[in-house]
Amino acid sequence: MLKIKDGFKGERSLIIPKMIIDYMEQDPYCQLLYLTDIGYYPKARHHFRERNEPIPQYIFIYCSEGKGWYKYGNSRHEIGPNQYFVLPAGEPHSYGSDPKNPWSIYWFHFNGSVAARNAEGLQVPHTAEPSATSRISDRLSLFEEMLFTLKSGYNRENLHYAHSILHHFFGSIRYVDVFRRANSGNKEPSNDNICHVAVHYMKENIEKHLTLSQLAEFTGYTPNHFASLFRKSIGHAPLSYFNLLKMQAAANMLDNTEMKVNQIAAKLGYDDTGYFTRIFTKIMGSSPTTYRQLTRG
């Protein structure tokens, strides 16, 4: 049985043609580790897959928010925010979104001569919680770069570059401590500067809805005390600054991707595209569509 709702609002996905997969299987570089499918499903209510006939690819799924589950063999696991797993190739499996709190997932199918090595140990849920030194947003940027590059075309340079990123992506998971230390382009936020730590936490959760209480709890302060410290240091109320960061991210996507406005809104955690447009217009001075037209001349 194979079942899936026909599309999710704001979704993006790509199925690589068989001719290109055949090429990658013979290419000395791509044959090590290559993608066959890749996508992002925001708030994927009713999402469900069951494959009784095994497929030859491994499946990576990262849940950014919401809940879901997966099952293979005699194992069943529950999945929540900031958790990821890999389903093994060649085994029947099923997975799905929680009906009350549907997951948002980044996913891809992969194979290659080193695929089993990269999947090793990831059949159980792993967690990547935001912290003062985490780099979740950087890792998701790698995913976006893979998707964008492959959508741009299947010439050899694009294929090699996208799959160089795929190696990097798995390296960021398998060697997470090294990945965190290797962030040489930015100084790690000082633990005694609570506002910088809070801003980092906002960036790591840019796709989610955060409350003042959640931000304060992360920093260890009461909401009122945290809000006072933040406004004094940053010059904005915490949630106003979080919205500003979201709109800066939206502007970057409008500048540098072909994502539709509803896809950008969904990626940044807005269910209502109209509400997202009003916030963007208020902060940036023009609607998302007008902004894109102006910046692209």
pLDDT in tens, 122-179: 999 999 988 888 899 999 999 999 999 999 999 999 999 999 999 999 999 999 888 8
The answer to whether domain 12-181 has CATH 3.40.50.300 is no
**pLDDT number for residue 165:** 97
Which residues belong to CATH 1.10.10.60 in the chain? 194-295
**What CATH number is given for 194-295 in this structure?**
1.10.10.60
Q: Look at residue 4 and tell me whether its pLDDT is greater than 50.
A: no
Lowest mean pLDDT among 183-187, 278-282, 288-292: 183-187
Q: Look at residue 7 and tell me whether its pLDDT is greater than 90.
A: no
Q: What is the pLDDT of residues 216-263, one digit of tens each?
A: 999 889 999 999 999 998 999 999 999 999 999 999 999 988 899 999
Which band of pLDDT confidence, cut at 50, 70 and 90, is reported for residue 293?
A: confident
Closest listed residue to residue 114, CA positions, set 176, 30, 183? 30
* Other Cβ atoms closer than 10 A to 289: 13
Which residues belong to CATH 2.60.120.280 in the chain? 12-181
Backbone angles phi, psi at 103, to 5 degrees: -80, 155
Q: Find out whether 166 and 34 touch, Cβ atoms under 8 Å.
A: yes
Section 55-71 average pLDDT: 97
Query: What is the C-alpha to C-alpha distance for residues 160 and 34, in angstroms, rounded to an integer?
Result: 9
**Residues of the chain with pLDDT > 90: what percent?**
80
**Residues of the chain with pLDDT > 70: what percent?**
94
- Which residues are 75's β-sheet partners? 72
Q: What is the pLDDT of residues 68-98, one digit of tens each?
A: 999 998 999 999 999 999 999 999 999 999 9
Q: Find out whether 49 and 95 touch, Cβ atoms under 8 Å.
A: yes
Q: Look at residue 30 and tell me whether its pLDDT is greater than 90.
A: yes
Q: Look at residue 188 and tell me whether its pLDDT is greater than 80.
A: no
